[in-house]
Amino acid sequence: MTFLLQTIRLKLTELDDGDVQFVFDLFNDPDCLRFIGDRGIKTPIDAENYLQDRLIDSYIKHGFGLYKVTLKGDETPLGICGLVKRDEINPPDIGFAFLPDYRSQGYCTEACQAVLQWTQENNISKTLLAYTNPDNFASIKVLEKIGLHKQQITSLPGQDFESLVMLIDFN
């Protein structure tokens, strides 16, 4: 583990090989499937491949990614939060997903604020995007709370639903 971000209550660290079950559980949560989409994680082996090829690989390729969120002093994963680099043209986007037991407690907002601050302090990008399902009112509320503004509705490659694009400019 090389990345560590801390807030008053939380720790954000890199995902590792020990997070296969967590990734499986998170990406098979009905709300995650509904609002983020089916990532094809049907077995623990699928989860292991997704963890390695998409999540951990992002740290190597881009120097950032989605991080495991835990409470300080407890290694139980609550969710993920961090940055996703979808392509070379667009700025990174902030992403998050939390297990049902850890929603509506401010953890997501707290983690997102820490990621925004880290992004600014490390000059990762002058602009951040967010993509969310237009019906995901809880995520939209978090994104607005941390300063992002609605831009447009678009379709992302490989998704069978529309996404609301939100943006924050640090200039």
Length of the chain: 171
Contact 128, 120 (CB under 8 A): no
Question: Rounded mean pLDDT of the chain?
Answer: 92
Domain count, the chain: 1
Contact 77, 22 (CB under 8 A): yes
In a domain, 135, yes or no: no
Q: Tens digits of per-residue pLDDT, 79-130?
A: 999 999 988 888 999 999 999 999 999 999 999 999 999 999 999 999 999 9
Q: Tens digits of per-residue pLDDT, 41-52?
A: 999 999 999 999
* Residue whose entry in the numeric block shows the structure tokens 């509320």: 141
In a domain, 140, yes or no: no
Query: Domain limits at 107?
Result: 4-123
Q: Is the pLDDT of residue 157 over 70?
A: no
Residue 116 in tokens: 């925004």
CATH number at residue 94: 3.40.630.30
| Separation of alpha carbons 128 and 169, rounded Å | 7
Give the pLDDT score at 87.
83
